[in-house]
């Protein structure tokens, strides 16, 4: 399998965690989204129709969208399962994953911040306030979901004793917010999951600074 | 079952389509996100922890996030299935759904447009250019995915003879863009799906102007 990834992309980071948790051997191919490699005609035509990272390839099969990739990995490499089969447990994991994947991450990713800066000409302070606003709004919801989940389990992961898709989404989102200088100390449950994950070899191996295309 | 929905919310519209396709009887409860009813403490505490629409309730079970709701409906009311079981077919449907649900919709929803206007003080022209920019970027990707899909089926839906989660996401996104005055004539495959859906009773019944909380 090939993984097309950019070290600093949170969505690539989600898939890196999933691949490591499942122990799937893969070739890492860096795609520099800062210089626009994800928009190169050959990449869009043959690798990822969505013109984005991450993408995976296995033989003739190519797939983009991090959440679709992790769903597919769960079918192709079922152990350990990252999205529960039981409908209500599954619903809770997906709800948290989508809160991050649909409500928090998209508004704060590189292309949006670039548009604010390059087209709307916002100041660095306005850009930073934008980022912090959506983090604060979204993370409050994440904390409420984790508090609700904690009524039926003791952690240390979002939904109990083993990591799920929710943790694959939460950890990169927190890492991203910390890199942007956000104070996340109020989000105690989220930070407890993040600290626990930092000690886990699969999560640690997926960190941006440990990728082959990392640059300081 | 109760559905908490706002007539003009694209994510509520996705769930309305899914409920109608499956013929699930439900009570429609309007939540006015323009006046902030989704942030009312009782709603956040008891109905939707994410402080958003849509949400569903069935007895003690409450769930937010449109894509998690449709996944749950597919388990609870399997006919007709909206997310295929076969891994590669499933991957294609999810990839398109996430392109819309993660890359297009979140950047252009009400709260983001409000922030641009109220906090960043952009002009109506800048707000409209922002909207059109993300539609153009995202819809180009949707068209490429539909072209790829069309190699293995003849339509009339995104992925063949029956509607899927992809259609539940595409139709509200197009309706939203048309309402915002976008010219979508270049997106021929997407518009063909949209026109076909407009004739389908489940899709028609889910349209904003046919909801009990509709106001002109």
Asked if B65 lies within 8 A of A144 by C-beta distance, the reply is: no
B8 in any annotated domain: yes
Q: Within this chain, do residues A115 and A144 fall inside the same structural domain, yes or no?
A: yes
What pLDDT, in 10s, does the model give residues B112-139?
Answer: 999 999 999 999 999 999 999 999 999 9
Q: Within this chain, do residues A32 and A121 fall inside the same structural domain, yes or no?
A: no
CATH number at residue B156: 1.20.1050.10
Q: Within this chain, do residues A113 and A182 fall inside the same structural domain, yes or no?
A: yes
pLDDT of res. B120: 98
Residue A154 has pLDDT above 90, yes or no: no
Residue A216 has pLDDT above 90, yes or no: no
A195 in any annotated domain: yes
What pLDDT, in 10s, does the model give residues A24-52?
Answer: 999 999 999 999 999 999 999 999 998 99
> B148 lies in which domain range?
87-203
Last residue of a domain, one of B80, B100, B132: B80
Q: Within this chain, do residues A94 and A119 fall inside the same structural domain, yes or no?
A: yes
Last residue of a domain, one of A80, A103, A128: A80
Nearest to A157 by CA among A167, A147, A142: A167
Q: Within this chain, do residues A106 and A138 fall inside the same structural domain, yes or no?
A: yes
Last residue of a domain, one of B80, B115, B150: B80
Among all residues of chain B, which has the CA nearest to that of A55? Answer: B95
pLDDT of res. A187: 98
Query: What's the CA gap between B165 and B173, in Å, rounded?
Result: 13
Q: Within this chain, do residues A174 and A114 fall inside the same structural domain, yes or no?
A: yes
Asked if B65 lies within 8 A of A120 by C-beta distance, the reply is: no
Residues of chain B contacting residue A72, judged by C-beta atoms under 8 Å apart: 87-88, 90-91, 94
What pLDDT, in 10s, does the model give residues B161-184?
Answer: 999 999 999 999 999 999 999 999
Q: A209: pLDDT confidence band, cut at 50, 70 and 90?
A: very high
- Sequential DSSP letters for chain B: -EEEE-TT-HHHHHHHHHHHHHT---EEEE--TTTTGGG-HHIIIII-TTS-S-EEEETTEEEE-HHHHHHHHHHHS-SS-SS-SSHHHHHHHHHHHHIIIIIIGGGGSHHHHHHHHHTS---HHHHHHHHHHHHHHHHHHHHHHHHHHTTS---SBTTBSS--HHHHHHHHHHHHHHHTT---TT-HHHHHHHHHHHTSHHHHHTSGGGSTT---
Q: Which residue from A65, A87, A95 is facing B95, i.e. has the nearest CB?
A: A65
For Cα atoms A210, A139, B61, give the angle at the middle one, nearest 5 degrees: 115
Q: Which residue from A87, A145, A148 is facing B75, i.e. has the nearest CB?
A: A87
Asked if B52 lies within 8 A of A107 by C-beta distance, the reply is: no
CATH number at residue A34: 3.40.30.10
Q: Within this chain, do residues A189 and A136 fall inside the same structural domain, yes or no?
A: yes
B216 in any annotated domain: no
Query: A119 to chain B nearest CA, in Å?
Result: 9
Among all residues of chain A, which has the CA nearest to that of B46? Answer: A148
| Regions of chain B short of the pLDDT cut 50 | none
Q: Are B16 and B2 in contact (CB under 8 A)?
A: no
Residue B163, class by beta-carbon neighbours within 10 Å (0-12 exposed, 13-18 middle, 19+ buried)? buried
């Amino acid at each position: 399998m090939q993984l097309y990834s950019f070290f600093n992309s949170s969505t690539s980071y989600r898939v890196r965690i999933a691949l490591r948790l499942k122990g799937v051997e893969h070739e890492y191919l860096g795609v520099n989204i800062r210089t626009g490699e994800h928009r190169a005609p050959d990449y869009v035509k043959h690798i990822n129709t969505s013109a984005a990272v991450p993408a995976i390839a296995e033989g003739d099969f190519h797939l983009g969208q991090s959440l679709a990739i992790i769903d597919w990995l769960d079918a192709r490499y079922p152990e350990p399962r990252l999205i529960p089969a039981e409908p209500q447990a599954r619903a809770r994991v997906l709800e948290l994953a989508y809160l991050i994947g649909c409500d928090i991450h998209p508004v704060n990713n590189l292309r949006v911040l670039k548009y604010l800066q390059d087209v709307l000409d916002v100041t660095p302070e306005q850009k930073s306030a934008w980022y912090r606003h959506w983090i604060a709004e979204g993370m409050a919801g994440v904390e409420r979901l984790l508090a609700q989940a904690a009524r039926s389990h003791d952690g240390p992961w979002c939904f109990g004793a083993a990591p799920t898709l929710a943790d694959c989404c939460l950890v990169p989102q927190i890492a991203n917010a910390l890199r942007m200088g956000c104070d996340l100390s109020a989000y105690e449950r989220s930070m407890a999951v993040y600290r626990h994950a930092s000690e886990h070899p699969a999560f640690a191996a997926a960190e941006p600074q440990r990728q082959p295309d990392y640059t300081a």
